[in-house]
Structure 1
Amino acid sequence: MAKLNNVPAFQLIYIIANYGMGSKILRRAKKCGIPGGTIFLGRGTVDNSLLNFLSLYDERKEIVLLGADNDTANHALIELNKIFQFERPNHGIVFTTGISGIVGSKRYKDIDNEQERGGSESMYQVITTVVNRGKAEDVIEAAKAAGSKGGTIVNARGSGVNETSRLFNMEIEPEKEMILILSKEEVTETIVASIQKELEIEEPGNGIIFIQDVQKTYGIYE
């Protein structure tokens, strides 16, 4: 799949860590200049026999989402890796994707959109699939059949009993599951096609898939 042409001014940092580490990571990130973030629960699905790819197992995980301009994100990633040692086995993984802007924070509104990204290009993409609850394992199996080593499952929900969130005009209610799969670029299309076929994603209400280019990674083992 083609790389995005425009260099984004901001990075969205995904940190998938062991349960209980999210708050510690968030506190340290604030000391590195990132004013806040979001923590949500998930579970890993990687089989032990797969050489700890993504360093994830079928257990509870915490996913920390942080948004920052490129300079702040690059600095924070270096400092967080020093402290939490993501590059060591079973210490979690980190990857970043580009975002074009952040709304709701005065801190970032004047950042130059032509800011240098820095760092080396990643060979990875993240595949995000949203499906009905109970279908996440089917997504993982379809992805594995196409060459994936596993992923992370997150229960998605709305903000209230009578409210729903929307993602690309699709409702995210308590009965939905979101699956994050980190993939090498050369197998992304094959994995997406396998999920699309097995889950019949094109049928109304069955789900949605979107793909983002990954800029940097820490803690990936093959």
Structure 2
Amino acid sequence: MITINKAHKLIITIVKKGCAKKVVKASKLAGAEGGTVLIGSGTGVHENKSFLGITIAPEKEIILTLVNSQICNKVLSAINEEAKLCHPGTGLAIMLCPKQIMGINHLIGLNDTNEHMEGKSQVESQAILYDLIVTIVNKGDADLVVDASKNAGAEGGTIISGRGTGIHEQAKLFNILIEPEKDIVLTLIDRTKTEQVLEQIDIEAGINQPGKGISFVLQVEKTIGINHVLNKMVNEKFNDHA
């Protein structure tokens, strides 16, 4: 159920509003299975716009594309060519390596969870204390993910709305492709609890069922704004030694 990831990359592309559909299409032509689009805003050094002295933050579209490592450079090149990211002010793309992934059994040919668990490699201990679990599900299922995360030890989650299609969601109306709405749940978790949270998300939200969603884990190097968590840990250690 839980994949120690070595074979997939996450491409995050940020472009001007209206360009995401072209980016997703280019990604698919290069071999990607789809993408999830988020709406945001922001300015770069080439986009300092103002009206009557008030700074305007242009709307952005953020595309999350999970691809096989073997085609990641091909997909990235296709995105670059389509969005012309080499030109100032058009956008940017970054590529990350998710530490763990769940919900892509159709990609890696896994049908038996037990065989998968027996074959997974051991993760070396690291000094990183936290992981970020990113879960993308159909709209309306976010509460299942948050509740599952809490039941497994997380403190909560942040829900973002987006849209996107995968191979199990090729819906059309009057021959027009419909992009289903998505919920994206961000969960910051003590890394010692990451696997149990992922397992609980699968149990309660059915992530490993085709078309239900996907979860992946990113390593967190630094955190700000979690003093209440640190204070709780200090108090627990103090009470243990009292």
Give the alignment's TM-score, normalised by structure 2: 0.44
Give TM-score, length-normalised by structure 1. 0.48
Greater fraction helix: 2
Question: Which structure would you say has the larger RCO, counting Cα contacts within 8 Å and 6 or more residues apart?
Answer: 1
| Structure with larger Rg | 2
